[in-house]
Amino acid sequence: MIRVSAGTAACFGLSNNRMDAYPTTAYLLSGNRCLMNCAFCPQGSGDGESFKKLGRITWPAYPWSAVEEVLPAAEQKGIKRICLQSVRHREGIKPLLELIGRLKGLSTLPLSLSAWISREEEGSALFDAGVDRISISIDVVNEEAHREIKGGSLQNRLNLLLRCAEKNPGRMSTHLICGLGESEHEMLALIDKLLQAGITVALFAFTPLKGTPMENQTPPEKTSYRRIQTGHYLLQENLSSFTSFKFSDGRLVSFGDLDEELTSLLGDGDAFRTSGCPGCNRPYYNERPGQTLYNYHRPLKKEEKEKALRDLRASLSLERI
C-alpha cells in the first residue's frame, strides 16, 4: 500500500472526488506512524481521524498496483514532478530506497523526496538511487520553539542541511512553517542564509489540525505571511538584501529603498504563489477553497494581486504601492 494525496488521487482517477484545483506534482506518502512526534502533525500521535492528514490534506492508502497503473501516464495529467513524502521510519531510509527504485521504474519525471535523514551519507545514497531533490524540513525556525514542538536541536538539523547542500549544490530544499513562535526577523534571516547556501525554501503557514496538541493555536496573520513571502521573493530573485530590510521588535516594517517600487516588482503576483521545488503547487495545503490563500497554487487573478498588494501596503503603513 502507498498513501496518495486526495488531490493526486482525484487527478489520476483513483477516486471520484471532484477537486476545485488539481496538483501539478504527484504527492505520495510513505509510511504510517512517524517516529517523530511534531506537535503540529498528526502522523506521530494523532488520533484515528486526524491521522489521515498531513497539512489540511487527506492521504488515503492505495494498493501499489493502482499507483503502478496510473503513474506512467502522469505527464498527460499535467504532472511535472513526483514528490515522495515520508514519515520517519523505524528502519531508517531502507524502505525509501526500495520505493524510489520502484518509482524510477515507472516514471522519468523528476522525483523530490521529503524525509528524515540522519547523516550526509544517507542523502548521498538517496541521490544515487535516483532522487532529483531532497528536502530536509526545518519547519520550526525559533530554536526554543523547535525544541518544544519538534524535539531536538534546530542547529543540528540546519548543519546537516547545509552540509548536504555543500555536497549536492542546487539539489536541497527545506520546508519552513510561519506562525510557530518565530519573529519575522528570525524567519527572514534564516531564509537569507538558506538561499545563500543554494537551498530552495518552501514556505508554509501553520495550520492547526484537530487531534494534535496544537489544534487550538491560531494560524499566522495573512499580512505577516505576505511580508515573509515578499521578503523571500526579493531575496530569491536577488532584488534586495536582508541587510536593507528594516524591523521593529522582530516585525518587518520596511523593505528599505524598494518600498516605493513594490507595485512594479510584485505586480505579477508571483511572490504570493506556492514556493518550493519546481512544479510544486500544493493546492489548499494550508487553507480551505474559498478563503484568501496563503499560497496561490495558480497565477493570481487581477483582484487577488490587488488585494495582496493592498494588504501588504497597509501592513507596511505605506501611502501607496
Single-letter amino acid, residue 80 = K
| Least distance to ligand SF4, CB of residue 287, Å | 16
Coil, strand or helix: which one is 202? strand
Q: Which of 25, 207, 212, 229 binds ligand SF4 (CB under 6 A)?
A: 25
Nearer to ligand SF4 (CB atom), residue 207 or residue 315: 207
Asked if 43 interacts with ligand SF4 (CB under 6 A), we say no
Identify which of 250, 252, 213, 214 has the alpha carbon closest to the alpha carbon of residue 234.
252
Asked if 308 interacts with ligand SF4 (CB under 6 A), we say no
Q: Please provide the DSSP assignment of 57-95 as one string.
A: EE--EE-HHHHHHHGGGGGGGT--EEEEEE---TTTTHH
- How many CB atoms lie under 10 A from the CB of residue 273? 17
Q: Which of 5, 168, 173, 286 binds ligand SF4 (CB under 6 A)?
A: 173
Asked if 168 interacts with ligand SF4 (CB under 6 A), we say no
Q: Which of 7, 44, 55, 276 binds ligand SF4 (CB under 6 A)?
A: 276
Handedness of CA 41, 197, 295, 15 (dihedral sign): negative
Coil, strand or helix: which one is 302? helix
Q: Which stretch binds ligand SF4 (CB under 6 A): 41-49, 86-94, 274-282, 293-301?
A: 274-282
Nearer to ligand SF4 (CB atom), residue 286 or residue 315: 286
CA angle 179, 89, 127 (to 5 degrees): 85
Asked if 86 interacts with ligand SF4 (CB under 6 A), we say no
Cβ neighbourhood burial of 109 (10 Å; 0-12, 13-18, 19+)? buried
| Least distance to ligand SF4, CB of residue 57, Å | 11
Q: Which of 43, 86, 114, 229 binds ligand SF4 (CB under 6 A)?
A: 114
Rounded distance, CA 188 to CA 310, Å? 21
Q: Which stretch binds ligand SF4 (CB under 6 A): 159-167, 275-283, 293-301, 311-319?
A: 275-283
105, 299 contact by CB (below 8 A): no
Residues 182-221 that bind ligand SF4 (CB under 6 A): 202
Q: Which of 280, 300, 309, 321 binds ligand SF4 (CB under 6 A)?
A: 280
Joined grid coordinates for residue 248: 521593529
Single-letter amino acid, residue 231 = G
Rounded distance, CA 321 to CA 318, Å? 7
Asked if 123 interacts with ligand SF4 (CB under 6 A), we say no
Nearer to ligand SF4 (CB atom), residue 114 or residue 230: 114
Q: Which of 135, 168, 212, 315 binds ligand SF4 (CB under 6 A)?
A: 135
| Least distance to ligand SF4, CB of residue 24, Å | 10
Q: Which residue is at the shortest CB distance from ligand SF4?
A: 276
Q: Where along the sequence are the contacts to ligand SF4 (CB under 6 A)?
A: 25, 81, 83, 112, 114, 135, 173, 175, 202, 276-277, 280
